[in-house]
Copies of this chain bind each other. A is one copy, B any other.
Amino acid sequence: MNKKHIQEKLKYIEDFYTAVNGKWKLSILIVMYNNNKRFKEIQNSIPKITNRVLSKELKDLEVNKLITRTVYDTTPVTIEYEVTEYCMTLKPIIQMMTDWGKNHRETIAGRK
């Protein structure tokens, strides 16, 4: 594999990283794959995430076309978030990551 090829790969991995970087995005997606649509539902499903961070992360995910945000004219207002079809392309990767994480936890025994 030549140098140019690697440089390309580095660009692509950077794009991947940009789309899902940070402490919370993967967790948010995992929860949302399971059909949690409302802000509070998502928040309640993820231990320790603040509304401030969740709000920002959802915005990022929307910009990257991984989720949609639909506003309903109710009282109080209702917002629904949903993973896009495009986001489903990420699901098998995230599943593999999760499996790997499980395995890693066992491999690095004693780590908390």
User: A65 near B107 (CB under 8 angstroms)?
Assistant: yes
Q: Which residue of B lies closest to A26 (CB)?
A: B13
Q: Is A47 engaged at the interface, CB distance under 8 Å to the other chain?
A: yes
Q: Number of contacting residues on A, CB 8 A?
A: 45
Number of identical monomers bound together in the oligomeric complex:
2
User: B98 near A92 (CB under 8 angstroms)?
Assistant: no
Chain A interface SS verdict (over half): helix
* 19 intermolecular pairs with C-beta atoms under 8 Å apart: A8-B102, A9-B98, A10-B47, A11-B101, A11-B105, A12-B101, A13-B26, A13-B27, A13-B94, A14-B27, A15-B102, A15-B105, A16-B26, A16-B97, A16-B101, A19-B104, A64-B108, A65-B107, A90-B100
